[in-house]
Structure 1
């Protein structure tokens, strides 16, 4: 088994933590910034009942670590016949890990689909099955887009000013220079114009001593996830696949119990992680405050940057919503304005003291504060 690639690509060969005995594979990481795990698999045609379990452990080890995965090779499984037990179990296993199988035609001279292309987070384009020349298997050619976005959420982006100890000392000279360069006389300006000029001068001075910069915080990792939590998560995935396969009540209870076990393990590892930080930084209040603040205050979500296009979409959404509601309301069978008798005031007179006292004495809630005197004069 061999993998050939151009020298322009940055590839690094890796290996598993265990040795799969039922199939052969070659793994390598493609790229550095947005890593793609590429794997070439060959499964011998001889039946091996332990293949699905070993391949399941293989997927459980690699899938949590990578956002984009590409698995190709000769599996010698007739996926074109999904009624067969081996093919059905294999397709269920692939589907449980959200892998997409892109080959839909025969790849062998006898008309079976044995060579597969499994992908996760990668669009497979222009797939073509060529004619067989030097083997009974047909070459499968396809394109993948390596510039696609990763699954991990981006960190929130905001603009901010870097305030240093020298910023306050530099602000006053910058403000005076801007104020002196303003040729407009303050005597000819009204209050609004003076306020606007002062705000403009302050903003200009801040842009000089502490300009706005784009701050892109790094996404926070989860350091308490280790080999113990990953092993518990693999057990959950195995229980989930078993329940999807047989749909029995017993396997469903096993799945629930494995999820409870996984959640308790994660909680214990998280408590252990923060306990170590707190115990090792007892004399560092700054580190303690930052740690406790990170636990109590969740990070803010990414805000949408205000723009004319966003405002127009927001306006059109509510206009369309109101139009849809109005269109769904059927008009009444009669005009309700005809039966309504409106009172018309035609004559007004001065209010006397006795009538005012009579009106205010019948009110349940006073229209004035309680401490306000109730004498009308």
Structure 2
């Protein structure tokens, strides 16, 4: 039997054998191991180091340690949250934004009017910020409005600068760029051999961009070649430009075959741009015949232009050229809007709340108090069911006709384009051309069908607004420049007030001529009061009125029309109290006046080019129509209208007046007589109406008296107006003359 030895350890002895920490070596030993190259680096996961080097800096929250103090109300051993442990943390500044290059496009459209959908698709698909278009074929007159309006309706966050070719067909240059760019046209001399537009563009970067777009036709009007004159004039243009600081980009259709080394004119052109220290960046063919005609030039010493590519699927004999410009693209245009989610309102619940409101449980008996109760109750209910929401939105392209079929057709187009570029076979080129034609036709047809559907179910007013939007370009700048919007509303307020006073003073000082026009001093008939309206009559007035809403209205008109069963009795009571008492409610006399440019092409700088448009409450306009319809019936029944009056008279509009004038001129010509047409335009006609003269004529010439004339006097006098621009309001002013229009 073999004897065995047994060692026994206590619990504490076993714990003492456990390592107490990492085994370390002295610093001088570690340094020596590294020098000899025999130190083993700490193992890491594969790829971790390279990934860490590529990480972008992450914004962090930093703070300084604050000495902790025990709150006097805190008890030891207390459970739950202790808010006194929270400290304020100040975020560090975010890292500097990296420069986002600007996408630039160049295209010879050969008439952009019928190709607006294709142009919009090109801009949207390629995220183009600035596009230069040559051969726009714009003429500079009203015929351009439809194309420009169509373009701006699809791309509302863009601005247009163009120089048309007047009095001749073809030609024209245009630059279409985002509104966030601060761009202005540089005035300079014109040249005989080429058309050009010169823009200075500023963005977030410190260095401005000078963009010059050129179109050179091959021949002048008299048939001579433009090349000899062009070299001299283009050299003059370059001399005035290249000496200025900043980025310079010269782009356009130069009509030189720069890809052909044997072409003499192209060689002279290349020597010319080389002498100006400019570099040409387009290398591939840009014309259907295989030559490079559309060029992009920039300074040779900088890297303004990069990543130049061409696109060949557009309906033109020229390809579109796209590149990146080393110019910081500005942030998208954003607008602060306030909205209410009206469509999400539970109409049944809203109607029940109206029936349970003081309008039914405790209606006021006084007219002004009832109007105040009506407006305050509806405002409170609207805030309860659809509170006001503030949002900051970005302006984005609006192409609602773009559908899934167009998207798939574009994918097929890209597929065939890649196939042709890789094979260069004629059959693949033919298949690509067929798909290009099919894709462009689909875009045009989809847009046409969209607008046809939009116009199909419109009434006359909606039809006019939609057609006007499609045919009239919206001005990108409809107000004069002003650093402080508050001072702008005050300027307009003072201008409109002084304007009427000046006109009245000039009329008072004008010399008068005795007239022999017979005017009746009195009227044999009389109109002393208004008839009471029924609920059905008021309901008919409301449903027949446009659903326009003013910012003074307590609820949107569209919502009001959905609650007619509940609101019609209240509205009928308000209107009848107004007509019975001969008093127009004080709350209805307030108007927000919006300055509106008289014509889209007028200069927005002078305030005299604006007319004041008064925005009234919807219920105020319904009350006006209730009184007007009865007065009109009275005038027609008693033949008190002027025989020659047109407008504000049934079946007598401006169109009928023009037909009458035209017919009279034709009759005079048939009889061999001479005809003279005198046209008179009253300046600020509605704004200078004298209240006392108007009341006197209503009373004596038309026989209006009693409560009816009191109602008109209350309607004319003690009105207040505010100039309204966006969310800014001027101080209230009381016009002594005039009526709202």
Tell me the TM-score normalized by structure 2: 0.19
Tell me the TM-score normalized by structure 1: 0.37
Which structure exhibits the higher relative contact order, with contacts defined as CA atoms closer than 8 Å and separated by 6 or more residues? 2
Task: Report the structure number with the largest CA radius of gyration.
Answer: 2
